[in-house]
């Protein structure tokens, strides 16, 4: 067992051992985790479609009203998604299913809101739809590549790998937070340009891919403990967060590139 683990996965293992889950009749399986991950992804898709449809219906073609509705929904679901993650971390042995679904719904609405807002502000509806489709395919490609690299033994997830990923994430997070603080104080955002934003998304995309490899390894390690089937939701929740991170960074890179091209043609 690796000594360095994702917080969510470590909690699952410790809770399972504390509750003496080893002898349970219904144990978690990789198939069960995969099924629940698909359910959560479907929830993201459905909630996004319903939100976009409802917003368009209420706005009735008024772009300013639609933009206001999207701004409001983005703010609300961003908070909801954050709360669902925080509650799940400190939920102990509670069933993670409601928190996972709440996060999936909030992310579906958030993605729909962001894409809808950009299309409403720029009028580039067809381009946004294309970016959405490419981002989905890109996320699937990253998943398949990392799955192949990990299960073929090409990519070794050891303590050094985990520590490197963790330190890199902390550094980039601290860098962004410091810049945000400086921008609030001085009014100047040093990361507002195309290339700095592109670089940040590129780094986060690489880190997201690394997190995915760590997720595969964590599942393999945790399955050795024959934990209760209810923990499949926790594992699926962790996978969903990683996949959403990858999707968002691919989409962000494409959107930034689209906006930069539009600025250059003016």
Q: What is the pLDDT of residues 135-171, one digit of tens each?
A: 999 999 999 999 999 999 999 999 999 999 999 999 9
The winner for highest mean pLDDT among 6-20, 74-88, 89-103, 128-142 is 128-142
Query: What is the distance between the alpha carbons of residues 185 and 183, in angstroms, rounded to a whole number?
Result: 5
Query: What pLDDT is recorded for position 1?
Result: 41
Mean pLDDT in residue range 165-188: 90
Q: What is the band of 54 on the pLDDT scale with cuts at 50, 70, 90?
A: very high
Q: What is the band of 2 on the pLDDT scale with cuts at 50, 70, 90?
A: very low
Q: What is the band of 92 on the pLDDT scale with cuts at 50, 70, 90?
A: low
Query: What pLDDT is recorded for position 241?
Result: 95
Q: What is the CA radius of gyration of the chain?
A: 20
Query: What is the distance between the alpha carbons of residues 229 and 81, in angstroms, rounded to a whole number?
Result: 24
What does pLDDT average to over the chain?
A: 87
Query: What pLDDT is recorded for position 103?
Result: 96
H/E stretch holding 75 = helix 63-89
Q: What is the band of 16 on the pLDDT scale with cuts at 50, 70, 90?
A: low
Question: 61 — phi, psi (to 5°)?
Answer: 85, -10
Mean pLDDT in residue range 224-252: 91
**pLDDT at 9 exceeding the cut of 90:** no
Query: What is the distance between the alpha carbons of residues 234 and 239, in angstroms, rounded to a whole number?
Result: 9
Query: What pLDDT is recorded for position 186?
Result: 81
**pLDDT at 177 exceeding the cut of 50:** yes
Q: Model-level pTM?
A: 0.87
């Amino acid at each position: 067992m690796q000594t360095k683990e994702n917080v969510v996965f470590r909690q699952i293992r410790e809770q399972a051992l504390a509750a003496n889950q080893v002898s349970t009749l219904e144990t978690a399986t990789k198939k069960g985790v995969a099924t629940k991950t698909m359910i959560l992804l479907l929830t993201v898709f459905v909630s996004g479609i319903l939100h976009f449809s409802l917003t368009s219906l209420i706005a009735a073609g008024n772009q300013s009203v639609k933009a206001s509705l999207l701004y409001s929904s983005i703010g609300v679901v961003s908070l909801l998604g954050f709360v669902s993650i925080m509650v799940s971390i400190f939920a102990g042995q509670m069933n993670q299913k409601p928190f996972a679904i709440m996060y999936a719904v909030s992310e579906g609405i958030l993605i729909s809101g962001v894409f809808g807002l950009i299309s409403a502000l720029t009028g580039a509806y067809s381009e946004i739809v294309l970016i959405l489709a490419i981002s989905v395919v890109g996320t699937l490609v990253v998943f398949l590549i990392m799955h192949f690299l990990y299960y073929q033994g090409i990519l070794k997830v050891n303590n050094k790998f985990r520590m490197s990923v963790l330190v890199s994430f902390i550094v980039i997070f601290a860098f962004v937070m410091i810049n945000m603080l400086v921008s609030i104080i001085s009014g100047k955002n040093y990361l507002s340009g195309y290339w700095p934003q592109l670089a940040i998304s590129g780094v986060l995309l690489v880190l997201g891919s690394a997190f995915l490899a760590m997720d595969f390894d964590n599942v393999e390690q945790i399955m050795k403990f024959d934990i209760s089937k209810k923990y499949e939701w926790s594992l699926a929740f962790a996978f969903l967060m990683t996949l959403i991170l990858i999707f968002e960074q691919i989409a962000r890179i494409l959107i930034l590139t689209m906006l930069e091209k539009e600025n250059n043609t003016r």
